[in-house]
Structure 1
Amino acid sequence: MPEPTHNDPPRPEVAVGGVAIDRQRLLLVQRGRGVATGRWSLPGGRLDPGESLAQGVARELHEETGLAVRVLGLCGLAERRGPSYHYVILNHWVVAEEPDAAAAGDDADAVEWVDRAGLERYELVPRLREFLRSHAVLDRLR
């Protein structure tokens, strides 16, 4: 197998995310580092070796928001590519056990529960708004 060069595209990585809705509000985190720093996104990150998808979702949500969650099932898939990254993100519906306890942690600078009208005030990561629309997430928000 040939050695990769600096011009080769990055190898795809599996990532997971959580779509948490409480009182018709969506949980968002402000990215503190990595891709799209400063923008708002669903909480999530790379799947660790040996983790199931549900374990990865629960771990990432806890690390970024401090919340324990119950993972319900797949909401939808997103693919994000750039010159130095290629993520295949499996976003899952989750229910937070104590939603009011959300607090920024790990690589999140802030955490917010946002209603549908409030989404307009946030600088979201590229294509998140389209993901929320096409996977009926917006329909669940007031």
Structure 2
Amino acid sequence: MDPRSVARHVESDADRAAAHRLYTLVFPVDAAAGRVLLGMKKRGFGRGKLNGFGGKVEAGETVAQGAVRELAEESGLAARSVEQCGLLLFYFEGDPTAMEVHVFQARDYAGAAAESDEMRPEWFPVDQMPFDRMWADDRFWWPCVVDGAKFVGRFWFKADQTTIVRQSLVRVDSLDFGGAAS
């Protein structure tokens, strides 16, 4: 397992045995205007869905560095800092690799959002999220983000990547699991 992974701290023995891939998910927030930037995924995994910005964590970078890099690549925004607010683990029927997704907010960034090859950005009111155009799990954990709560969510999907067959969501005091993902 990737030494930056923190999944071992929150998973059952059976789920921990699966291979894991590290990902990031960043939500730029304009607190003064009460809005969040989402991107319409134009290609690849999640195509046609609105989501935060993110992707795979590359070798040699921390999870936070991966989040900043992915945000810049996909939206044109340069985050001065990011704050981790959640950890999501996804298991898809028929896929032996679990997705370990570290969720961040970016409240301090420079630049203007611009369309990339992968994402088309659009601002939405924080309290009017377009859940019908997002992943099915988002409606469960987004209230934690809005409330400023830290959370750990685990979602098991059917192979159709739409149907949730099981879920677990808990608010936590800290996402510091011994510095493994920093």
* TM norm structure 1: 0.78
Unpaired runs of 5+ in structure 2?
Answer: 1-16, 149-182
Q: Would you say 1:123 and 2:133 are equivalent positions? A: yes
Relative contact order higher in (CA < 8 Å, ≥ 6 apart): 1
> Distance between the aligned counterparts of 2:26 and 2:50, measured in 1?
13
Counterparts of residues 1-142 of structure 1 (less than 5 Å)? 11-22=19-30, 23-82=33-92, 83-84=94-95, 85-98=97-110, 101-108=112-119, 110-116=120-126, 118-120=128-130, 123-133=133-143, 135-137=144-146, 139=147
In the alignment, is the contact (CA less than 8 A) between 2:51 and 2:134 conserved in 1?
yes
1:70, distance to aligned residue in structure 2 (A): 2.2
Aligned partner letter, 1:14: L
> Distance between the aligned counterparts of 1:86 and 1:120, measured in 2?
26
> Distance between the aligned counterparts of 2:127 and 2:62, measured in 1?
34
In the alignment, is the contact (CA less than 8 A) between 1:19 and 1:75 conserved in 2?
no
In the alignment, is the contact (CA less than 8 A) between 2:81 and 2:109 conserved in 1?
no
Say what the alpha-carbon RMSD is for the aligned residues.
2.2
In the alignment, is the contact (CA less than 8 A) between 2:77 and 2:113 conserved in 1?
yes
- The secondary structure found in structure 2 opposite 1:62 is helix
* TM norm structure 2: 0.62
Aligned residues: 128
> Distance between the aligned counterparts of 2:50 and 2:63, measured in 1?
22
